[in-house]
Chains A and B, each alone.
Chain A
């Protein structure tokens, strides 16, 4: 039986996080009332003209630089012509034969091994609007359909990978890494639920050891990491079955159905459009000066790979690094703690652990966390100086997150610092020993476990404020002295 090699290439559409649309001043806010963020330009009114959003160009340049692309000094917008009710002008303004970026790459780690995925190109384009069908999921069966043009003309970049991906896992890792990078650049919110990031996946099979690519299918608009893996698994299985049965793969555009976890055909190649691309006469070619590109290069934020390296050097575990890097604001929080004097490893332990879970419970993000990085550093200081036990610190943390008070203030208000004053504790210990002479005897006869009982009594007496290791030491010392 022929064994097949899987060849995958991915086109990712990422919505750029600009405040306004690509060719007009309308807001890009998601979820507003339909057709409220619109104007003559994005409605495709006769007589309206596109004017390019400078910020969107900056963001596209940033993406190109962060993916090691060649940012082109001249790129050209074209018109991609087709009719659809969500496309107000009857054409989409996109880049075609002269995109803004060419030839970059992104490294992923597959089971700990680095793999480089080539980037063919990045081009800029406007998004279409949205159709809401009544009485059916598709336009075909609908009694009527509504058109919402809030999304029309929002800026997108399309990032096209080389066919370097071989497994569903690699595909997922690639899109995850790409998403992380764009989010770190601050140019895309990466929100796949809202469609800010969507992937078109090209899959083909070829007998292992052969060179030519097999016929591919393209699965459109897959919008979660899990769906990416499932769609690919399903498509590999389908193609393998067909090829094994001696049948041919038909070049198709397919759609992933989450309910059945399979892909189904959207249209055959024969039905594919002739988009009649030609240069957009309403916009002159986009010319970027070296100076502008260099200015943007200098402003690029630290990217995840560099951050990971820094954290690794500071002794963080791979798990901690993963958690911290998931969202840029988490690593930003950690970096602010470090900048405020925290030991990276200590701060990371709290950021990844208790703070992370307390914030989740209270539905706060790291950005809106009521305990600031300075607050957390203060808390770490209280632990360091022995004023708080770990357990007490967690309680203080919870209070801080609820009230927004600083740890110092919380501690001062409750008076609940750890008792680490030996004199004060010796008196309590003596009192407990006097009241439990039988236990003292047991300890003396070698049953040191019985000291735990005494310890519990001391903690009870001090309402848990005594520093545990100190108590244990004092108990043993006092008994020895008797």
Chain B
């Protein structure tokens, strides 16, 4: 039976042949949501009544036999750093208090043009800075597999909502792993497209040269369907690629046999927990048993990726977050008695500690006298990472790594040690540095918690990694094998 548990592809078919009503699915979804949201806390805002009204209107269109898109009526949640015109964008920060964007993000525009049903805005680490949603100034979201653990981050709300069955698909943003890491922790599919494949217009910038919007889903087909809808050149984003976008869903072709896989040994040693590594090896061997080959390769620059990232990303962030100054929108301190004081107190009161930490780091590395030692050097290292990947892709079709070094950690586990938290992104960060596409798919359980397999492709090889992910999905049947307890337990 087709219900809120189903994939977008299944729902699309059922809406079309009228075996199920959009309104029933949406109502069922909210009933489930009301049960599980107190445990998971995925959302910051929900649009329950609006989505029900929209569902009823869509049913009339389906009944009439209107030609609607494959995404019409599909419930989708959007990370709360991506604009939906007319409703608050908070970035989980106090500094955006009262801010309501007057424009849609390009991705929102494109999805709404396909008549998706936007269910709400999901939780995140403040300004997407973090790996657990613990840096949200509102609340921490919880992992649907174990609510004493984090869902990952920064797009933790979007990942948890999909894993908990609160929504069919969702959007996140990924600067250093913010889609793939929570996807791995929550046992769902999460994809970061090639830099420039999806417009960043309307995404509140964290690090502009690294940010990319991408989908969460429970199946690879759904990820392809959403990516197809949101990708393509945008005149509002000068970094969006003019390259023609592909029909990722209709062109999806599960691919395993003959595949040459490289596994960087820098991300396959002691930095990866044994339980995680065991699951990834099992996945690689499953692929091998079906005609692929894999071997370890050396990519020495990957070791420097985290360090490099924590110079470049904060540098860009320090400038990107300057616009939050209390002058035009958001939080303004009312006690200040002069201009400089107003700037200081508004920013001091509006930003949380992790955001402040990164602004300070970014300001420092760009300061005169330090710029060359940090920023210039980081840019050089970045080009080495790009080169290492380019060389690897001369020999291998895809590169695979564990998405994360460990399974989801406990709430508060890294509270006193931000550096340990930063290492959660050790395998995902290099991909952003090189602007490549990568997808995380569930590949097993360690201590009863999901493990993610990261599939990395060459630039604009988005279709290719979706094909490989679809091939792995066929073999492992992960969508039915790995359902979160919160989703399973529902009636």
* Residues of chain A whose beta carbon lies under 8 Å from any beta carbon of chain B: 40, 43-52, 79, 81, 83, 85, 88-91, 139, 147, 274, 276-278, 281-284
Contacts and interface: CB of A to CB of B under 8 A. Distances in A.
Q: How extensive is the interface on chain B, given as a class?
A: 35 or more
A139 B341 CA distance: 13
11 contacts: A44-B323, A46-B89, A46-B323, A51-B235, A85-B327, A91-B322, A276-B368, A281-B208, A282-B208, A282-B238, A284-B238
B204 to A, nearest CB: 4
B101 A45 contact: yes
B236 A90 contact: no
Contacts of A277: 366
A89 B343 CA distance: 13
Contact of A90 (B105, B315, B323, B366): B323
B96 A83 contact: no
A52 B201 CA distance: 15
Contacts of B237: 49, 51
Interface string B235-260: 11111000000000000000000000
- Interface of chain B, helix or strand or loop or mixed? loop
Nearest to B211: A281
Which has the most chain B C-beta neighbours within 10 Å: A46, A50, A278? A46
B327 A47 contact: no
Given A79-B319, A83-B343, A50 B238 contact: yes
A284 B239 contact: yes
A276 B374 CA distance: 13
Interface in B288-313: none
A47 B208 contact: no
A276 B363 contact: yes
B65 to A, nearest CB: 38
Contacts of B239: 49, 281-284
Contacts of A48: 103, 201-202
A72 to B, nearest CB: 19
A37 B91 CA distance: 28
B102 A278 contact: no
Contacts of A85: 325, 327, 339
Which has the most chain A C-beta neighbours within 10 Å: B83, B103, B238, B367? B238
Given A47-B105, A282-B238, 16 more contacts: A43-B328, A44-B328, A46-B204, A48-B202, A49-B200, A49-B201, A49-B205, A49-B237, A81-B318, A83-B325, A85-B325, A147-B327, A276-B367, A278-B366, A281-B209, A283-B239
B128 to A, nearest CB: 12
A40 B368 contact: no
B18 to A, nearest CB: 38
A91 B325 CA distance: 12
Contacts of A52: 238
Interface in B87-120: 89, 91, 96, 99, 101-103, 105
Interface in B202-245: 202-205, 207-209, 235-239
B322 A47 contact: no
B319 A81 contact: yes
Contacts of B43: none
Nearest to A278: B366
B389 interface: no
B375 interface: yes
Nearest to B201: A49
Contact of A40 (B103, B209, B327, B367): B103
B204 A90 contact: no
B174 interface: no
Contacts of A49: 200-201, 205, 236-239
A281 B435 CA distance: 13
Interface in B124-151: none
A50 B323 CA distance: 14
Contacts of A89: 319, 322-323
Contacts of A51: 235-238
A62 to B, nearest CB: 22
Closest 3 CB pairs of A and B: A90-B322, A276-B366, A281-B209
Contacts of B318: 81, 276
Nearest to B344: A83
Given A47-B89, A139-B339, A281 B316 contact: yes
A47 B315 contact: no
B366 A81 contact: yes
Contacts of B101: 40, 45-47
A79 B375 CA distance: 14
Contacts of B329: 45
Contacts of A91: 319, 322
A89 B208 CA distance: 14
B85 to A, nearest CB: 10
B212 to A, nearest CB: 13
B438 to A, nearest CB: 20
Contacts of B201: 47-49
A83 B322 contact: yes
A85 B327 CA distance: 6
Nearest to A140: B338
A153 to B, nearest CB: 13
Contacts of B327: 85, 88, 147
Given A40-B103, A47-B204, A281-B208, A88 B323 contact: yes
A52 B83 CA distance: 23
A51 B233 CA distance: 13
Contact of A274 (B105, B203, B235, B368): B368
Contacts of B207: 281
Contacts of B99: 46
Interface in B368-387: 368, 371, 375
Contacts of A40: 101-103
A47 B319 contact: no
A111 B329 CA distance: 56
Contact of A47 (B205, B321, B324, B343): B205
A278 B319 contact: yes
Contacts of A88: 323, 327-328
A233 to B, nearest CB: 34
B464 to A, nearest CB: 25
Contacts of B363: 276
B88 to A, nearest CB: 12
B322 A278 contact: no
A49 B235 CA distance: 10
A281 B200 CA distance: 12
Contacts of A278: 315-316, 319, 366, 371, 375
A88 B320 CA distance: 11
